[in-house]
Structure 1
Amino acid sequence: MHSWFRFVFVLVLGLSGFSVEAQKNPKPPRANDAKNTQTGKEPPFKDPELARYAIFEKSAPRPEATEPVRTVLPLKLGKGTRIAFIGNTLLDRAQHFGHFEAALQQAHPKAELVVRNLTWAADQLGTEPRPANFADVEQHLTIAKADVIFAAYGFNESFAGESGLPEFRQKLTTYVAGLKAKAFNGEGGPRIVLVSPIANENVKGVAAADRNNKNIAAYTKVMREVAAAQRVGFADVFTATEAAMASGGSVLTINGCHLNEAGYKVFAEALFAKTFGGRKVPAGDEAVRAAVIEKNKQFFRRYRPVNTFYYTGGRNRSYGYLDFLPAMRNFDIMVQNRDRRIWDLAQGKAVPAKIDDSNVPPLPTTAASRGANKWMSPADELKAFKVDPRFEVNLFASEEEFPEIACPIQMRWDSQGRMWVSCSTTYPHVYPGNEPDDKLVILEDTDGDGRADKS
C-alpha cells in the first residue's frame, strides 16, 4: 500500500471519529442567541396592490406604436401636460438647481405641468447601463405618461471627434424616429425637443473649451440637422453658453464641462428662449424653485433608490417587496403633494411653511420570522467574556457614551490609535419622510486610559 494512501486513510478515520465525538457532545446553545429561533408567526401578508409600484424591466409596461406628431416651436403647453427629461448629465444635474423647471411652471401657472426627470448621468445614444431588472427609459416614459420629452445628448458622443459624426447622425436619427413613434401617454406620439450640449469652459488647470468646443459645435450642427429632418424641436444651448463663458466675469462650471449654479441659470435662460420663441424667463421666484428642488429630491429617491438589489434585484421578492414597494407608494404620494405645492406657488396662492404629507400612509410593520438577540449592556457583555488570565478585555467605546455609533457596519484603526466607525442608520434605504443620516465617526482616546473620550 502506498504511504500517501495510508496517510489519507488514517486522516479520514480521524475526521470520522471527530465527527462522531462532536455529535455525542454537541455545543450547548447560547442562552441569549435568539436569532436562530423561529417566532412561529405567519409571514406578513403581501398586498397585491403594491405590485403596481414595482417598475421592473421584466414587468413594467411598454408603449404602443403610434403615428408620430410634428413638434412645433415655440412649444405650446396645455393643462396637465406631462413633461419628461431624458439623456445625460446636463439635465441630470439640472434637477438640483431647478431654474429651467421653475421657469416652466411660472410661465404656465394655470397649466399645472407634471415634470419628471428620468435622466441618468453618462447616458449616451445606445449606451444606457442600469442595475439588474431596472426598467429602461421607454418603460419609465410610459409610467410617466410623457406628452413632451426634452432629450439631452451629444456631449459624451462628441469625444469620438470628427470621425464619429456619421455614426452619431445615424444613431440619433434611429433613436428619434423610434421615440416619436411611441404612445407613452397612451394616446399619441410625444413632442420632442432635442437639447444640444453646452459649451465647455477653460478653467484653472483644464483648457476644456480649447480641447472640446470645436467637436461640440460639430455635434450640435448634426443635432440641428437631424431634428429638422425628423420634424422635432431643437434647442441650441451651445451658442448661448459659449458666449456667456467668453464674456468673462464669472466661472459657470465646476470643472470646465459641468455647470454650477450660475451656469444653470444661463442654461435655463437659453433653453427657455429656444423652446418658447425667444421669450425671456419669468422673474425668478425662489419659493417656486425651492419647491421644484424638493420635489425632484423625493422623485429621485423613488426613481433611483440607492439599494436597487432590494428594489429590482435579487431580493425584490422578499425584503424588497415588504419594504421597498410600500416606500415607493409613499414616495409617489409625496411627489404628488409637492407637485400641488409648486402649482399653488406658481399661481400665487399661500402655502403653509411645512409641506402637508398627512395623506401619506404609515409603512407596514415588517414581521420578523426569527427572534432577536437581547441587547446587553457593556457591563453584562464584559461579564460574559471568558478570558485567558494572561489577557485583559476593556471597553473602548459604546453607544451609551457615544450614541452616534449606532448601527456600525465597519471599523478601522488608524496610525494615531483612533477608531473610525462607519454607521448606517439609513440602510437598506432612506424611508419616505426621513433624511439620510449615515455617519463616519472618529473616536479618540486623548488621555491614554484605553477608553474613547472624544468623537
Structure 2
Amino acid sequence: MKSALLRLSFALVLFGTTATATSQTTPPTRAFEFKDGDRVVILGGTIVEREQHYGFLETALTLAVGQKQISVRNLGWSGDTVFGHARSYFGPPTEGLERLGKHLETLKPTVLIACYGADLPFEGLIKMPEFISGYRNLLELVRSKNPHVRVIVVAPPPLENLGSPLPDQTEANAKLEDVRNALKEFAGKQGAFFVDGFELMGGAKKERPEHPITENGIHYAEAGYQQWAAKMIEGLGLPKQDPAGPAATQLRRDVIKKDSLFFNRWRPANETYLYGFRKHEQGQNAAEVEQFDALVAAEDKKIQEQKLKILQALPQLP
C-alpha cells in the first residue's frame, strides 16, 4: 500500500513537470491537506466568478489531490465583498449574507477557499479595520453553518500596468500589498491556511508586462486564469499540474460543464419570478431548478472518472 502511494506521488510530480513554469517562486514548506470526500466551496468576487468559464483552477486542484475524490462549488459573485454587497439584490448587504448562509447550509463545505480584498485599494485603506472585521464576520457565518470547515484565505493578485490610456496601477498595487500583509496576519489569527496570491502572481511590478494576462489591467484573460491556477496550486503546496495540457482537455471540459450547470442551479435566471416578490407569476417553475442537482452530480462522477483515467496513464515506477 505504501509503495503504491509512493508511485502515485512520484507520478503526480512527473505529470506536473510538463506544466510551463511561470515563476521561480520557492514553494511553501507546508501543504494544505485535502481529504477524500472533501466538499470545497470557493468564495470571492469577480476573479472567482469568472474562473468557472475557464476551469483551470478546479482542473488543476482535482488532479493535484490524486485519487482522492473532491467536489468543488464556485460561489463567486462579481463585485462581491466580505459584507455581501453583490449578493443582496434589492436589500441591504445583510440580505446577501443571509442568501449565502442558505447556500452554505445546502452545500455543507468541508473546505472554504476565500479570495477577497481586490476592491479595497479603490475604497481607501482607511476602511481596512472594517474590511478585516467584515471578513471575520463572514468566516463566523461559514463556521456557524459548518463548524469543522477548514479555511484557506487567498490574497488577491496584483494589477497590471498596461500603459495609457489605462490608469497607472502602481499606487493601487502598493495598497494591495498592504491588504496582503493584513490578510496574512488575519489568516494566522483565524487558524486558516494562507496563500499569498499577491506575491505568487508577481507582486507590485511597475513595468508593463511583455505578455499581458489581463484584459484591462484588472480582469484576467484566459492566460491569467491559467497562471493563477498554477500559482494557487503552488501556494497550497500541492504537486504542479498542467490543466491546459492535452491530457487534461476533456477533464477541463467536464469541469466547465459542471460549473455551468451549478451556476444555473444556485443563480437561476429570473430568480425574482421564481422565488421573489413576483413568484405569483412564474413560481410554479421553481421546482425545475432542483432538477439541476442530479445533472451536477452526474458531472461530478464524470470528472472523477476522467481524472482517474489521467492518473492511470501516468508513468509507473518499476
What's the TM-score, normalizing by structure 2?
A: 0.78
Matched, 1:253 2:210: no
**Is the Cα–Cα contact under 8 Å of residues 200 and 208 in structure 1 kept in the other structure?**
no
Matched, 1:324 2:281: no
Residue 214 of structure 1 is matched in structure 2 by 174
**Is the Cα–Cα contact under 8 Å of residues 208 and 257 in structure 1 kept in the other structure?**
no
Residue 50 of structure 2 is matched in structure 1 by 93
**% identity of equivalent residues:** 28
Tell me which of 131, 144, 148 is aligned to 1:182.
144
Residues 76/243 of structure 1: CA separation in 2 closer, same or farther (3 Å cut): same
**Is the Cα–Cα contact under 8 Å of residues 131 and 308 in structure 1 kept in the other structure?**
no
Residues 309/166 of structure 1: CA separation in 2 closer, same or farther (3 Å cut): closer
Tell me which of 102, 119, 135 is aligned to 2:76.
119
Matched, 1:159 2:118: no
Matched, 1:148 2:106: no
**Is the Cα–Cα contact under 8 Å of residues 150 and 193 in structure 1 kept in the other structure?**
yes
Q: In the aligned structure 2, how far is the partner of 1:211 from the partner of 1:310?
A: 44
- Offset at residue 319 of structure 1 (A): 2.3
Residue 343 of structure 1 is matched in structure 2 by 304
RMSD of Structure 2 on Structure 1 (CA)? 2.4
Q: How many residues align?
A: 271
Residue 364 of structure 1 is matched in structure 2 by none
- Offset at residue 194 of structure 1 (A): 0.9
**Is the Cα–Cα contact under 8 Å of residues 84 and 148 in structure 1 kept in the other structure?**
yes
Q: Which amino acid in structure 2 is aligned with residue 207 of structure 1?
A: P
Secondary structure, aligned partner of 1:141: helix
Q: Which amino acid in structure 2 is aligned with residue 296 of structure 1?
A: D
Q: In the aligned structure 1, how far is the partner of 2:121 from the partner of 2:307?
A: 38
Tell me which of 195, 207, 226 is aligned to 1:235.
195
Residue 405 of structure 1 is matched in structure 2 by none
- Offset at residue 143 of structure 1 (A): 0.5
Residues 161/278 of structure 1: CA separation in 2 closer, same or farther (3 Å cut): farther
**Is the Cα–Cα contact under 8 Å of residues 46 and 76 in structure 2 kept in the other structure?**
yes
Q: In the aligned structure 2, how far is the partner of 1:247 from the partner of 1:221?
A: 24
Residues 166/315 of structure 1: CA separation in 2 closer, same or farther (3 Å cut): closer
Residue 265 of structure 2 is matched in structure 1 by 302
**Is the Cα–Cα contact under 8 Å of residues 41 and 109 in structure 2 kept in the other structure?**
yes
Q: Which amino acid in structure 2 is aligned with residue 319 of structure 1?
A: Q
Q: Which amino acid in structure 1 is aligned with residue 69 of structure 2?
A: E
- Which has more helix, going by share of residues? 2
* Divergent runs of 4+, >6 A: none
Residue 313 of structure 2 is matched in structure 1 by none
Q: In the aligned structure 2, how far is the partner of 1:247 from the partner of 1:162?
A: 25
Q: In the aligned structure 2, how far is the partner of 1:73 from the partner of 1:157?
A: 29
CA offset digits 1:70-104 (Å, max 9, x no partner): xx952212221100011211111111111110011
CA offset digits 1:160-191 (Å, max 9, x no partner): 33322232233333433x1463243xxx4210
Secondary structure, aligned partner of 1:110: coil
Structure 1: unaligned runs, 5 residues or longer: 1-71, 350-455
Q: In the aligned structure 2, how far is the partner of 1:346 from the partner of 1:247?
A: 38
- Offset at residue 337 of structure 1 (A): 1.1
- Offset at residue 247 of structure 1 (A): 8.2
Larger RCO: 1 or 2 (CA < 8 Å, sep 6+): 2
Secondary structure, aligned partner of 1:173: helix
Q: In the aligned structure 1, how far is the partner of 2:304 from the partner of 2:168?
A: 39
Matched, 1:271 2:229: no
Residues 281/300 of structure 1: CA separation in 2 closer, same or farther (3 Å cut): same
Residues 88/131 of structure 1: CA separation in 2 closer, same or farther (3 Å cut): same
Give the 5 Å matches for 1:390-409: none
**Is the Cα–Cα contact under 8 Å of residues 64 and 240 in structure 2 kept in the other structure?**
no
Q: In the aligned structure 1, how far is the partner of 2:258 from the partner of 2:290?
A: 15
CA offset digits 1:117-152 (Å, max 9, x no partner): 111111112233433688611221110111000111
Q: In the aligned structure 2, how far is the partner of 1:324 from the partner of 1:85?
A: 25
**Is the Cα–Cα contact under 8 Å of residues 182 and 189 in structure 1 kept in the other structure?**
no
Q: In the aligned structure 2, how far is the partner of 1:208 from the partner of 1:299?
A: 37
Q: In the aligned structure 2, how far is the partner of 1:125 from the partner of 1:99?
A: 24
**Is the Cα–Cα contact under 8 Å of residues 162 and 216 in structure 2 kept in the other structure?**
yes
Which deviates further from its counterpart, 159-168 or 139-148? Answer: 159-168
Secondary structure, aligned partner of 2:42: strand
**Is the Cα–Cα contact under 8 Å of residues 183 and 189 in structure 1 kept in the other structure?**
no
- Offset at residue 286 of structure 1 (A): 1.3
What's the TM-score, normalizing by structure 1?
A: 0.56
CA offset digits 1:208-260 (Å, max 9, x no partner): 43241011111111000000111111111111223597683311101111111
- Offset at residue 314 of structure 1 (A): 2.1
Residues 263/222 of structure 1: CA separation in 2 closer, same or farther (3 Å cut): same
**Is the Cα–Cα contact under 8 Å of residues 195 and 236 in structure 1 kept in the other structure?**
yes
Q: In the aligned structure 2, how far is the partner of 1:84 from the partner of 1:127?
A: 16
Secondary structure, aligned partner of 2:88: coil
